């Protein structure tokens, strides 16, 4: 698809950037809608304090939310709640989440022999996608803070390995930031995400993969696309 982007961004060197997806399987470069958890400065926990008013209802409980490092978090209630199982050295984490666009960076690879893991908890080997969320840029009403224009210019020019400037084919934002510092696993269950009709072109995906190398290993690939982009602005 054709998009009009500023000349001082990576998109001006790759055309097209976004293309229409032709499958229903999330693959690296696929654009999704997901509920992205806010990374809070202080982790919070949900602590069951006892059954609800009707003690016969084992799926209901009275709970309170408290800092995750509080001693009460790991004190087990004498009234177990069937709907809130929690085991040794575990806690029920609580966080806010917001519906955002996200980019698939990696998909499940070699399938496992299920017979080999028979009787083992599924979470030990459950397949996941690795995704990175997009944050909107523009300032809004209420609690929507947005980003300063001066900062966005530096992001667009590729000064931060953890941030990548983008213009998405979905939503109503002209600019977005891909947060490579918030990569996290996503369930492969279809209820965990909503597919969009778009994915990165092969050339655009190659750029993101190079950008990830820069973020992970703090070095830009020699003679790569990212190095060329940086040298363009250095001139």
CATH number at residue 219: 2.30.30.110
SS3 assignment for 112-160: CCHHHHCCCCHHHCCCEEEEEEEEECCCCCCCCCCCCHHHHHHHHCCCC
**pLDDT band at 117; cut points 50, 70, 90:** confident
Instruction: Judge whether 151 lies within some domain.
Output: yes
Cα gap 63→227, rounded to integer Å: 53
Give the pLDDT score at 1. 60
* Contact of 66 with 94, CB cutoff 8 Å: no
Range of the domain at 68: 44-94
Give the pLDDT score at 143. 53
Task: Looking at the structure, tell me whether residues 62 and 101 fall in a common domain.
Answer: no
The pTM for the full model equals 0.88
And the tokens for 197? 């009709």
Instruction: Judge whether 1 lies within some domain.
Output: no
Task: Looking at the structure, tell me whether residues 125 and 149 fall in a common domain.
Answer: yes
Task: Looking at the structure, tell me whether residues 77 and 167 fall in a common domain.
Answer: no
Task: Looking at the structure, tell me whether residues 198 and 114 fall in a common domain.
Answer: yes
Q: Number of structural domains, the chain?
A: 2
And the tokens for 6? 């500023």
229 or 58, greater pLDDT: 229
Task: Looking at the structure, tell me whether residues 128 and 49 fall in a common domain.
Answer: no
Task: Looking at the structure, tell me whether residues 34 and 58 fall in a common domain.
Answer: no
What is the average per-residue pLDDT within 128-141? 87
Give the pLDDT score at 192. 95
Task: Looking at the structure, tell me whether residues 127 and 22 fall in a common domain.
Answer: yes
**pLDDT band at 78; cut points 50, 70, 90:** low
Q: How confident is the model over 3-19, as pLDDT tens digits?
A: 678 888 999 889 999 99
Cα gap 169→230, rounded to integer Å: 25
* Contact of 95 with 37, CB cutoff 8 Å: yes
Instruction: Judge whether 68 lies within some domain.
Output: yes
Task: Looking at the structure, tell me whether residues 71 and 167 fall in a common domain.
Answer: no
Task: Looking at the structure, tell me whether residues 114 and 208 fall in a common domain.
Answer: yes
Give the pLDDT score at 169. 95
Task: Looking at the structure, tell me whether residues 32 and 111 fall in a common domain.
Answer: yes
Which conformational region is residue 10 in: left (phi greater than 0), alpha (psi within -120 to 50 degrees), or beta?
alpha
Instruction: Judge whether 127 lies within some domain.
Output: yes
Evaluate if residue 141 carries a pLDDT over 60.
no
Task: Looking at the structure, tell me whether residues 73 and 168 fall in a common domain.
Answer: no
Q: How confident is the model over 169-218, as pLDDT tens digits?
A: 998 888 999 999 999 999 999 899 999 999 999 999 999 999 999 999 99
Instruction: Judge whether 3 lies within some domain.
Output: no
Q: How confident is the model over 35-53, as pLDDT tens digits?
A: 999 987 788 988 887 777 7
Partners of residue 198 on adjacent β-strands:
20
Burial 149-182 (b: 16+ CB within 10 A, else e): eeebeebbbbebbbbbbbbbbeeebebbbbbbeb
Instruction: Judge whether 4 lies within some domain.
Output: no
Task: Looking at the structure, tell me whether residues 228 and 181 fall in a common domain.
Answer: yes
Q: How confident is the model over 88-106, as pLDDT tens digits?
A: 778 888 999 999 999 999 9
């Amino acid at each position: 698809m054709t998009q009009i982007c500023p000349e001082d961004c990576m998109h001006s060197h790759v055309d097209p950037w976004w293309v229409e997806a032709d499958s229903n399987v999330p693959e690296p470069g696929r654009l999704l809608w997901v509920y992205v958890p806010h990374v809070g400065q202080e982790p919070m926990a949900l602590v069951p304090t006892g059954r609800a008013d009707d003690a016969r209802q084992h799926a209901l409980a009275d709970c309170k939310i408290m800092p995750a490092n509080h001693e009460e978090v790991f004190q087990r209630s004498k009234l177990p709640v069937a709907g809130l199982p929690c085991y040794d050295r575990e806690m029920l984490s609580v966080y806010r989440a917001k519906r955002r666009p996200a980019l698939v960076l990696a998909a499940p690879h070699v399938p496992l022999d299920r017979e080999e893991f028979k009787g083992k908890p599924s979470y030990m080997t459950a397949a996941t996608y690795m995704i990175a969320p997009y944050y909107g840029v523009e300032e809004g009403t209420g609690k929507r803070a947005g980003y300063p224009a001066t900062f966005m210019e530096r992001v667009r020019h590729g000064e931060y390995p953890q941030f990548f400037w983008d213009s998405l084919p979905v939503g109503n934002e002209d600019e977005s930031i891909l947060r490579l510092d918030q990569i996290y696993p996503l369930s492969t269950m279809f209820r965990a995400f909503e597919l969009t009709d778009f994915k990165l072109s092969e050339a655009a995906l190659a750029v993101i993969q190079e950008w990830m190398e820069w973020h992970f290993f703090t070095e830009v690939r020699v003679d790569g696309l990212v190095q060329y982009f940086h040298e363009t602005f250095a001139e």
